Amino acid sequence: MAASKVDGPVIGIDLGTTYSCVAVWRHDRGEAIANDQVNRLRPSCVAFTNAEKLVGEAAVNQAALNPTNTIFAPSLYKKMSSCDLSKSSQHEGKEKQFMPEQISSMVLVKMRETAEVYLGKKIKNAVITVPVYFNNSQRQATIDAGAIAGLNVMRIINEPTAAALAYGLEKMPVSNKRRTVLVFDLGGGTFDVSLLNIDPGVGMDKGLFEVVAIAGDTHLLAGRTSTTRCNQKALRRLRTACERAKRMLSSTAQTTIEVDSLHDGIDFCTTITRSRFEELNKDLFSKCMKALDKCLCDAKMDKSSVHDVVLVGGSTRIPKVQSMLRDFFYGKELYRSINPDEAVAYGAAIQASILSGATDDGRLVDMLLRDVTPLSLGIAIRDDYSTMKMVIPRNIAIPTKKVQGFTTNYDNQTTVSLPVYEGESADTRDNNLLGTFKLTDVPPAPEGVPKFDVTLDIDANGVMKVSAEDRDTGNKNSITIVNHGGRLRKEEIARMVQEAEK
If one looks up domain 232-281 in CATH, what number appears? 3.90.640.10
Strand partners, 469: 453
C-alpha 398/C-alpha 220 separation (Å) is 26
Q: Is there a cis peptide before residue 399, judged by omega within 30 degrees of 0?
A: yes
Q: N- to C-terminal Cα distance for the chain?
A: 36
C-alpha 319/C-alpha 413 separation (Å) is 62
Helix residue ranges per DSSP H, 192-314: 232-248, 274-280, 282-298
130 closest CA partner among 315, 404, 345, 304: 345
Instruction: Spell out the per-residue pLDDT of the chain, length 502, in tens.
Output: 445 567 789 999 999 888 999 999 988 788 999 988 889 999 999 999 888 899 999 999 888 888 888 888 754 555 554 444 455 555 556 677 888 899 999 999 999 999 999 999 999 999 999 988 888 788 888 999 999 999 999 999 999 999 988 888 776 666 667 889 999 999 877 788 999 998 876 665 667 889 999 988 766 654 444 444 567 788 888 988 998 999 999 999 999 999 998 888 899 999 999 999 999 999 999 999 999 999 999 999 999 999 999 999 889 999 999 999 999 999 999 988 888 899 999 999 999 988 887 655 555 666 778 889 888 999 988 767 788 999 999 899 999 999 988 888 889 988 888 888 888 888 988 888 888 878 888 889 999 898 888 888 888 888 888 888 888 887 774 444 444 554 566 677 677 777 766 6
What is the reported pLDDT for 345? 94
Cα angle value 426/223/84 (rounded, 5°): 65
152 closest CA partner among 41, 270, 10: 10
What is the reported pLDDT for 34? 92
Contacts of 137 (CB under 8 A, 6+ apart): 80, 81, 432, 434, 485, 487
DSSP, residue by residue, 368-402 = EEEEE-SS-EEEEESTT--EEEEEE-TT-EESEEE
Query: Do the Cβ atoms of 380 and 386 come closer than 8 Å?
Result: yes
What is the reported pLDDT for 26? 86
C-alpha 426/C-alpha 472 separation (Å) is 30
Considering the four listed CATH numbers 2.60.34.10, 3.90.1150.10, 2.40.50.140, 1.20.1250.20, the one that applies to the domain covering 373-480 is 2.60.34.10
C-alpha 298/C-alpha 316 separation (Å) is 23
Query: Do the Cβ atoms of 326 and 350 come closer than 8 Å?
Result: no
User: Model pTM?
Assistant: 0.84
CA 100 to chain centre: 14
Cα angle value 130/490/94 (rounded, 5°): 85
Contacts 24+ apart (CB under 8 A), 32-35: 32/339, 32/342, 32/345, 32/346, 33/114, 33/115, 33/118, 34/114, 34/118, 35/110, 35/114
Query: Is the fold of 10-220+282-370 the same as that of 232-281?
Result: no
Is CATH 1.25.40.10 correct for 10-220+282-370?
Answer: no
> 343-355 and 159-170 are packed helices; what angle lies between their axes, rounded to 10 degrees?
80
User: Could you tell me the residue ranges of all domains in the chain?
Assistant: 10-220+282-370, 232-281, 373-480
